[in-house]
Chain A
Amino acid sequence: MITAERKPFEEIKESVKDYKKIMVLGCGTCVAVCQAGGEKEVAILASELRLALGNEVKKIEVNEETVVRQCDDEFMADTAFLEKVKEADVIISIACGVGVQHACNFFNRLIDGKPVRVIPGLNTTFMGANIDVGLWEERCLGCGDCVLERTGGICPIARCAKSLLNGPCGGSSDGKCEISKDTECAWHLIIERLEALGKLDSIKPVEMYKDWRPSHSGGPRKMLREDLRL
């Protein structure tokens, strides 16, 4: 899943302080699971904004909305919902960066008249897994050419601080990475796993230069499935 965490309140407050009608727009998928951008978090942020921005002189209105997914047109193509979007001076999207951009693009495409302003309320962090209560860890960088078959199911691109393909480096100590005692050495894990599988020999040959073109290095990526385009 995509994980995210809320931006500092002061930053959000500063970016909406000049608006009167604010919509806080949540996303019910990834960021709801990591409790950063779901319905509950929408309510919390909206309340905080009402308390911080509203006073007797300035009347502000903070509306709360949550859609299933902001990265998909079909969950936002609702007339009543779009009407509310149109009325808002600003929308704080608490989806991941994909959702923020997609919602912004979608609203501006569908709604005539004044442009719709959408700003982010979250910082998108990574693609990761829920490891323990309240703990998520990065697991994939989306490099476009998966190596997990050769590395015992542990990704050196995402989990080694240097993305080494022939690790571990000299900084691996007691199973920990040189950058922090809280970070596991991915290569230590890979070696342990392959040893347990009796497959340590699989990493003995030199892993050659990676082709980074399928990753972001090749430019913004697109995926076209002809079979789905009828």
Chain B
Amino acid sequence: MKSGSNLEGLLEKSEFVVTGELGPPKGTDVNVVKEKAAYLKGNVDAVNITDNQTAIVRMSSIATSKILIDEGLEPTMQMVARDRNRLAMMSDLFGASALGIKNMLCLSGDHQSFGNHPEAKNVFDIDSIQMIHMVKTMRDEHKIICGDEIEGEFKMFIGAASNPFADPFQYRVYRLAKKVEAGVDFIQTQCIYDMKRFKEFMKQVVDMGLHERCKILAGVTPLKSVGMARYMAANVSGITIPEEMIDRLRGAGKGNVASEGIKILCEQIQELREMEGIAGVHLMAIEWEHKVPEIVKMAGLLPRPTT
């Protein structure tokens, strides 16, 4: 085992895994974390803890991850290249490991111009692919970048993201291949709505054998309303939502849109379960954590297996 995490163990056993996501509070309120965690507990195998997502200042990913551990859940600590140089990253990784964090996700991070401090200076000392390599070196060679030995044990299950819907489309699979080459253990994709394009992407992935070198979790997010669908399609980079999906939501009629969104999601999950190369789903129920128990139950993903 590379990390001994629950997520790694289940993937090793070829269980179809479910990961969730939790956005830390914009402050110190631990109860916000605990409330969201309660909805996720027992319903997902690990929970991504975002790192100043969309460049909005929030409780740190490392601290929130520790709170999650104390609540009996397994975190996947996200880390963005925007806010830390290599010194800070490695130091935080030591700390994370010492606190019992066993999964992490290497990300570039949204540009700070999206967030609440657009006047900030960004870092981008190393990029997400180099970050994967750095963590793998730390784990497998027991050394930090400069070659110094790490005092004590360092174990980590290394994740990264892939956006099959960004451009140029034909190059996306090669970027995923670079992450595999750098040493990634698992991949979580951007939210998938355009299943046709995702299938095309996965065909390339399978043809290149990348699914055999890392575990791929398909990212899904329930659509709560027609407005949300329109907003995401227009404003979230790399998200395309097919018109038929929006029409179907609209057709559900007043009061039924949210449940139709969950229905669509469950159908997607079924389709993804049968897709070659998919090892699980990453369920991003953004500010809708209380719906997670209902979603995983409807999607037939309960009870969650143990290692």
Contact = CB atoms under 8 A, between A and B. Distances in A.
Contact of A163 (B124, B166, B181, B182): B124
Interface in A164-209: 164-175, 178-179, 185, 188, 191-192, 200, 204-209
A183 to B, nearest CB: 10
A181 to B, nearest CB: 11
Contacts of B126: 209-210
Given A170-B238, A172-B167, A206 B108 contact: no
Contact of A208 (B109, B130, B167): B130
A209 B110 contact: no
Contact of B161 (A167, A170, A174, A209): A170
B145 interface: yes
A207 to B, nearest CB: 8
A168 B171 contact: yes
B163 interface: yes
Interface residues of B, number: 36
Contact of A164 (B124, B133, B182): B124
A162 interface: yes
B58 interface: no
A210 to B, nearest CB: 8
Contacts of B202: none
A171 B82 CA distance: 14
A168 B166 contact: yes
Contact of A170 (B82, B108, B125): B108
Nearest to B131: A209
Given A162-B108, A209-B86, A173 B127 contact: no
A165 B178 CA distance: 12
A205 B175 contact: no
A164 to B, nearest CB: 5
A166 B81 contact: no
Given A168-B166, A172-B168, A188-B167, A206 B111 contact: no
B111 A204 contact: no
A207 B182 CA distance: 10
15 contacts: A162-B108, A162-B111, A164-B108, A164-B127, A169-B108, A170-B108, A170-B161, A170-B162, A170-B238, A171-B111, A173-B167, A174-B167, A200-B174, A206-B129, A210-B125
Interface of B: 81-82, 86, 108-111, 113-114, 122, 124-130, 133-134, 145, 161-163, 166-168, 171, 174-175, 177-178, 181-182, 190, 237-238
Q: Which 6 pairs show the lowest CB-CB distances between chains A and B?
A: A170-B163, A166-B129, A171-B237, A178-B237, A169-B108, A164-B127
